[in-house]
Amino acid sequence: MTAKYDVVVVGAGSNSLVTAAYLAKIGKKVLVLEKNDQCGGGVVSIEIAPGFTHDPHASAYYLCIANPAVKDDELGLMSKFGLEWRTYDAGFATVFDSGDGLVAYRDLDRSCADIARYSEKDAETYRRFATDCVTLLPMISKSAATPPLPTGPFISMLDGSPGGRRMVDMFFQSAYDILENLFESTELRIHLMKWVAEAMDGPEIKGTGATLVNLLGLAHSYDSHIPVGGSRAVTNSLIRCIEHYGSTVRTLAEVRKVNIVGGRATGVTLADGEVIEAREAVVGCIHPWHLAERIPEIDPEIARAARGVKLSNHGALNQQLALTEWPQFKGGEDARWTAAACIEYVRKDELGIRKVFDQYRYGEIPQSHLSPLTIMNSRKDPSRVPKPENCAMYLYHFAPRVLLDGGLQGWEKHRQAYADAIWEEFKSYTTNMDDSKIIARHIESPLEHHNHSASMPTGDIFGISMTFGQIMGRRPLPELAQFKIPGLESLYLVGPFMHPGGTVTFGGRAVAMKMMMDWKLDLKKAFIAL
């Protein structure tokens, strides 16, 4: 007998699970299907040694904290389903090879005091700029949690005020254009351009100015959060929510085909031939590059435009290290660095750092100016390690996605050597780290990311680029920005390549809202923050 549900959701990444949770909350019978044995997409945890919990993708959380799903606990993830958070005073810090550095505290006064050590003028300029970003953030955050406005009306709205017009100008610039215009100190420019690049586009790419504005608004409005027990705790709380409301999540269930009858999505067919019917809708985590393959009924012109969507400038090589002890830094000041969720290690060579981003774009592995990032969440969450003196460390570095030498598969040849070079660079900032401190080590290159999730083609962990031409009402392109495919009914799109995109945003809230609007349901049944 063919199984029937109100809604079938293809893929169990965080965005898909959020959509499913909202629909289950209003009484829909939902089935979520995941091809892997662990749900979550990039919101997962692994154990590389007994007692060590590591997050190989999402590790520190900003954007979803501003989403009403978390901020107002609309789904009860904290109050009912066991999700707990720990917080940091700062989102990130930069440690220079000279031993000094900067910390991006949530407290704007503390951040400005740090900047003033390099330039009092920059500290005052930063205060004004960051205040403008914080002022703009509520509008950006609200739009990130709802179906997007078309880009034109959004820009027109901003154009109504002098401050808004300045922000529109910045949206079309590169982040580096803005930094070079505003600040005189090379330390502050390196500090901020490296952070902007964590959105997986080089800081000199046009359109990254919007990323800078959003990041500074978030940094001085919200604490950086981590989930107790690892990122899988976020995923598990969403699954508990879905199941609490009578819906179902299945793993090891690969969807081969979305069934379209008379221009309407009617269900799915699994790889083993099982057919599952959807009475009201199918929600698919289907990357734009794969739409023609997965939905052959799509308009060929839209499919062609979707295949032309641009991926991010670079990918990442991630390492998880189970260490016997905590790193000690050469420059001292451990209390400053450990206030931050993410610590960047960067050489104080602005031009050299800028040039490296071109190497990523052209498929070259850099041989100098490596700039690792670490996240050591076991400091805030000791449940992640067997002993207090142990450290569960996430060692992250940018990487070209497709190599000049061997393409994507070339990572089989180059993975270990690049990982070793990154580890050696990190060790150079410490007084006590050597290979004897490693209990276990796990390495993932863009090839592993590509194989892990169809939402990360060629290792693009943000799905597609986050430049201004591919955000809000143009993500992934204007025809698809409302989470639907023109000409096909009852089929909705969800995923990091859709609005608001990129990192963990809980963007599935906007998809559920769009579906309820189409069904003409009372939105207040699901969205208490309205």
Tens-digit pLDDT profile for residues 444-499: 999 999 999 999 999 999 999 999 889 999 999 999 999 999 999 999 999 999 99
Residue 419 reports pLDDT greater than 90 = yes
Residue 24 reports pLDDT greater than 90 = yes
**Tens digit of pLDDT for each residue in 348-405?**
999 999 999 999 999 999 999 999 999 999 999 999 999 999 999 999 999 999 999 9
Residue 385: inside a domain, yes or no?
no
Domain range for 283: 3-84+227-310+457-525
Residue 56: inside a domain, yes or no?
yes
pTM (2 d.p.) = 0.96
Mean pLDDT of 233-249: 98
Kindly state the tokens that stand for 292: 């023609």
Residue 174 to residues 188, 206, 312, 478, Cα–Cα distance (Å): 16, 4, 14, 22
pLDDT given at position 325: 97
Residue 365: inside a domain, yes or no?
no
- 193's CB contacts (< 8 A; 6+ apart) are 175, 176, 179, 203, 353, 354
Residue 194: inside a domain, yes or no?
no
pLDDT given at position 259: 97
Residue 231: inside a domain, yes or no?
yes
**Tens digit of pLDDT for each residue in 268-317?**
999 999 999 999 999 999 999 999 999 999 999 999 999 999 999 999 99
Q: How many domains does the chain have?
A: 1
Least Cα distance to 482 among 519, 510, 503, 462 occurs for 510
**CA–CA gap between residue 466 and residue 497 (Å, rounded):** 9
Residue 1 reports pLDDT greater than 70 = no
Residue 418: inside a domain, yes or no?
no
Q: Are the CB atoms for 391 and 430 separated by under 8 Å?
A: no
Phi-psi region of 200 (alpha: psi -120 to 50; beta: other; left: phi over 0): left
- What are phi and psi for residue 527, nearest 5 degrees? -115, 90
**CA–CA gap between residue 59 and residue 316 (Å, rounded):** 14
The CATH number of the domain where 303 resides is what? Answer: 3.50.50.60
**Tens digit of pLDDT for each residue in 402-411?**
999 999 999 9
**Tens digit of pLDDT for each residue in 164-208?**
788 788 889 999 999 999 999 999 999 999 999 999 999 999 999
**CA–CA gap between residue 475 and residue 461 (Å, rounded):** 16
Residue 182: inside a domain, yes or no?
no
Strand-pairing partners, residue 49, are 52
Residue 11: inside a domain, yes or no?
yes
